[in-house]
Chain A
Amino acid sequence: MKKIMFIIPLSIFILTGCWDKHEIEEQAFVVVIGLDDSEKEDGVSVTYQIANPQVGIPNTGGEKEVASEIITFTAPDFITARDLANATVARKVNFAHTKAMVIGEDFIRTEKAKKFLTSGIRDREIRRDIQVVVSKEKAADFIKNNNPNLETRPHKFYDLMTGRWAETGLVPLSDLQRYFQRIESKNDAYLAIYATTEKSDDDKYGNEDDYLPGQIDQKGSSRTQLIGSALLKDGVMIGTLTGEETRSALNLRSKSIAKYMRVTYKDPFNKKYRVAALLTKPRSNKIEILTQEVTPKVNVTIPLSFKILAIPSGENYVTNLENQELLRRHVEDTLKKKYNELVKITQEEYKINPFNWSRVARKNFLTMQEYEEYDWDDKYTNADVNIKVEVKFTGFGKQLGPPKVDEKDEGK
């Protein structure tokens, strides 16, 4: 009896377990996966950026090595490609720390890309919080050209950069989880981070946010720009939104997402200047969708708080309450106009909403069948959207007014 009591636990240890074990230093951590179309019908061009752990760590002998290894090859899909990668990489390829999936714009505009992306859902190591980045150029080129100067390790750039959405709203939150969700729900568009490392030909000056990647006329060594978003309908890209439009889209969504956005508006008194402000959404939007009529009615109320950062024109919007009211109304009108324009584009051009409004519309139906019969997608294009912006001043900065400027310089 005693022997059996000993053998049973022992066999548990000997016969089970252990086989999933991999020493940490024997693994290659793929930080970024790139996907492009390949000439082959059933293949995809996969790019792996593999982090070199020793870079940046003192006393390891790796200080002089490159920060990452980038390999590109054609494979049936990006999951099985890791075995192929072992032809050149000596370690077990691991996706557990993948931060971003970069997809070339040309590729994501095809149905094929969607199939390859969704097939990755089965793999255990693919995290749902991988950020989806759409690059204007080929993904392989984007990964190769992206050389941030501040970050030693490649994953850090993607970690930080994709996290900025929560504060600036210039790019959306676009993880793999939401990508899958939007494909399943079908009635809302998915916004993915739009990026490039190439300079665009149509340079423009778009104030603080009205750009597509590559359009910002910046000088400096790193050419990477992540701004605006790619609009995906049912997993396939159909259009782009600039940084400003992306912000508007995020604000039109029900929940309060971006913490604060620094924005400027034309000074209502002095058209030469713009008033700078910090815009936050303290509460969720009030969204009401009436589906009884043939053309649905959408009423959106957006509460915004408005903190003045700078008034370069020198007009008194602080102590003069009349002026204040004027500015408030001006901002409300401007925003309303912008929001209406965006809604119009999505209705007419893209024929899908990126504001997750289908969730609100769903509530009006008792069963899924009823909702599907109603055909929200089709109805949205004609929907009567009514946007109300409620701006509230919450602050005027640390100091009420700037130091007095000479009379003659003023108001010219």
Chain B
Amino acid sequence: MNIKKLFSNRKKFEVTRNSSKEEKIKDNLEHNISTLSSIFESSINSDFVIRQCDVLSLEKKASTFFLNGLVDPKEIEEFIINALTNSEENVNKNMDIEQLVNDIIPIKNIKAVSMISECVQGLNNGQTLLLVEGIENGFLLDTTKIEHRGVETPQNELVIKGSNEGFVESVAINKALIRKQLRYEKLVSDNVELHNRAADSVSLMYVNDLVDKDVVEDVKKRLRDIDVDTIQNIALLEQYLEERPYSLVPTILYTERPDRVVSYMLEGHVVILAENSPACLVVPVTFWSFFHTAEDNYQRWAYGNFIRIIRLLCFLIAIVTPSFYVAVTTFHIEMLPTDLALAIAAKRETIPFPVIVEVLIMEVAFEILREAGIRVPSPIGPTIGIVGTLILGQAAVEANIISPIMVIVVAITGLSSFAIPDISFSFMIRVIRFGFLLSAAIFGLFGIVICLTLSVAYLTTLHSFGVPFLSPKTPYNPSSKDLIFRRTIRKQRIRPTNINPQDSTRK
């Protein structure tokens, strides 16, 4: 009953709100003030400020409106209020009023608007609205100043060699970081207004003479289809954009490195930026984007490929090791060297559980430790380490619940999963590991092979914004072969053509 009421209330509210928003600005200042006051609930909203004054040079009354917290108060005081009230110059009264305002107010950007809705949006974005008595136009003055962090090192995508700037929670700064790295006239930032209650604005950045226009249209269409109150940040936007919300495999790249974004834009990808997110999204992406890091190309050819080999190994170890251990010790004992088989058997003689239970206990314990390590408040952080090592490493073994070889298996698995660069991919691997484990416990190595085959088969069916997930490997497209291994920088002359760039050679 209550819920129903809530809904009906909301509907009514929306109707009134929309009707007043669609009004035009009237030449009656008092009327305009009351309209805006009611929209912004000025009776209870203390952040909504209306400052009235007389404009001497025009000999007219005027009002300025702004939202505290989004504007720079100093700028309003100095360049707007001061300019309006103290102006004693003789101005040509015959001039167009727009031109007059432009002349009087020394501020970087002034936009004339005629609709209330435009005013509301401008105010919500930190602009100051100037309404003058007798004029059917409003002026949005750019006074935006939103607090945000300073530019810092990326939190998740660290490199040893290369730039250490990461995105912050401000689109303006993020765009600046990108432009700083790619000073090219064809780099455009295309704003898309979402059709939702808060009228969020999302920016697409791409290199206009490289990007696949169809992808841009596809992204825009998906953005326009979003129909919710507000998109708080890019992490939520990612989930609204992706094709398969239930899939374990991510199809949109989330990165916090401007240099990485620039390299993607140069390959013809589209970058999505939104407010309040210290990262941006890259589409379309393939399997390899999640496998690579920024550093792979910064390090010299041999070093870069070396870390790629290590990472590939980590992939396999993180997915397969626990299940391989289970399969070999319960189904394929002949595979083990005799000494190892005897050593495992000796240590397991006093363990009360079957191997699979033993593995599950340790894997779950490790996942708990990992989750707890993230959630724990930092002052008691070190406890996690102590408790974790004691429980996982020593006590469990001494209490004969876990065999010491199990500790090695889980430790190497955990370590390998840390070496996977992308957080989404890391999650994916942590989850499918349990699937592999179950299958190995039932079918042995046969089960592991089935799981691997199914996984690869599934990956081939995926698409990210129309691009096959495993391309350009399969299906094959010409590219610089920067897949598992990379060639020397000098030989990377072709853009990956699976992305459909307008120009396939880099020059």
Contact = CB atoms under 8 A, between A and B. Distances in A.
Interface of A: 13, 16-18, 20-25, 27, 29, 31, 51, 53-55, 57, 60-62, 94, 96-97, 99, 125, 127, 153, 155-156, 159
A337 B443 CA distance: 60
- Which of B346, B347, B442 has its CB near the most chain A CB atoms (within 10 A)? B346
B355 A17 contact: no
Interface of B: 329-331, 333-334, 338-339, 341-351, 354-355, 438, 441-444, 447
A20 B338 contact: no
B427 to A, nearest CB: 23
Nearest to B398: A59
A105 B190 CA distance: 90
A97 B334 contact: yes
A99 B342 CA distance: 14
Interface centre among B329, B338, B348 (most CB of A within 10 A): B338
Contact of B330 (A21, A29, A94, A155): A21
Contacts of B348: 23-25
A99 B442 contact: no
A29 B354 CA distance: 19
Given A54-B349, A57-B347, A23 B354 contact: yes
Contacts of A31: 338
B331 A21 contact: yes
B346 A57 contact: yes
A99 B341 CA distance: 14
Given A17-B442, A97-B338, A155-B338, A25 B345 contact: yes
Q: Give the 8 A-B residue pairs with the shortest CB-CB distance, closest first.
A: A96-B334, A53-B346, A53-B345, A25-B348, A17-B442, A53-B342, A54-B346, A57-B346
A17 B443 CA distance: 5
Given A97-B333, A127-B334, A24 B345 contact: yes
B342 A153 contact: yes
A53 B333 contact: no
Given A29-B342, A57-B343, A13 B351 contact: no
B345 A22 contact: no
A400 B333 CA distance: 53
A48 to B, nearest CB: 15
Contacts of B338: 29, 31, 51, 97, 99, 155, 159
27 contacts: A17-B443, A18-B442, A21-B330, A21-B331, A22-B333, A23-B329, A23-B330, A23-B354, A23-B355, A24-B330, A24-B333, A25-B344, A25-B349, A27-B345, A29-B338, A53-B345, A54-B349, A57-B343, A57-B346, A60-B347, A61-B350, A96-B333, A97-B338, A125-B334, A127-B334, A155-B338, A155-B339
B349 A29 contact: no
B351 A25 contact: yes
| B interface secondary structure, majority | helix
Contacts of A159: 338
Nearest to A91: B345
Given A13-B442, A24-B355, A94 B346 contact: no
A27 B333 contact: yes
A94 B441 CA distance: 20
A61 B346 CA distance: 10
B413 to A, nearest CB: 19
Nearest to B326: A21
Contacts of B334: 96-97, 125, 127
Nearest to A127: B334
A18 B446 CA distance: 11
Nearest to B335: A96
B341 A29 contact: yes
Contacts of B354: 23
Nearest to B356: A21
A20 B444 contact: yes
Given A31-B338, A57-B343, A60-B346, 11 more contacts: A13-B438, A13-B442, A16-B443, A25-B344, A27-B345, A29-B342, A53-B342, A53-B346, A54-B346, A57-B346, A62-B346
Contact of B344 (A20, A24, A96): A24
A6 B339 CA distance: 43
Nearest to B404: A59
A331 B441 CA distance: 62
Contacts of B349: 25, 53-54, 60, 62
B350 to A, nearest CB: 7
A53 B329 contact: no
A102 B348 CA distance: 30
Contacts of A54: 346, 349
Contacts of B438: 13
Contacts of A55: 346
Most buried by B among A16, A25, A155: A25
Contacts of B329: 23-24
Contact of B341 (A16, A17, A97): A97
Nearest to A31: B338
Contacts of A23: 329-330, 348, 354-355
Nearest to A22: B330
A125 B341 CA distance: 15
B99 to A, nearest CB: 68
Contacts of A153: 339, 342
B43 to A, nearest CB: 53
Contacts of A99: 338
Contacts of B347: 57, 60
B272 to A, nearest CB: 34
A353 to B, nearest CB: 35
Contacts of B342: 29, 51, 53, 57, 153, 155
Nearest to A14: B442
B333 A94 contact: yes
B109 to A, nearest CB: 56
A155 B157 CA distance: 50
Contacts of B444: 17, 20-21
A245 to B, nearest CB: 32
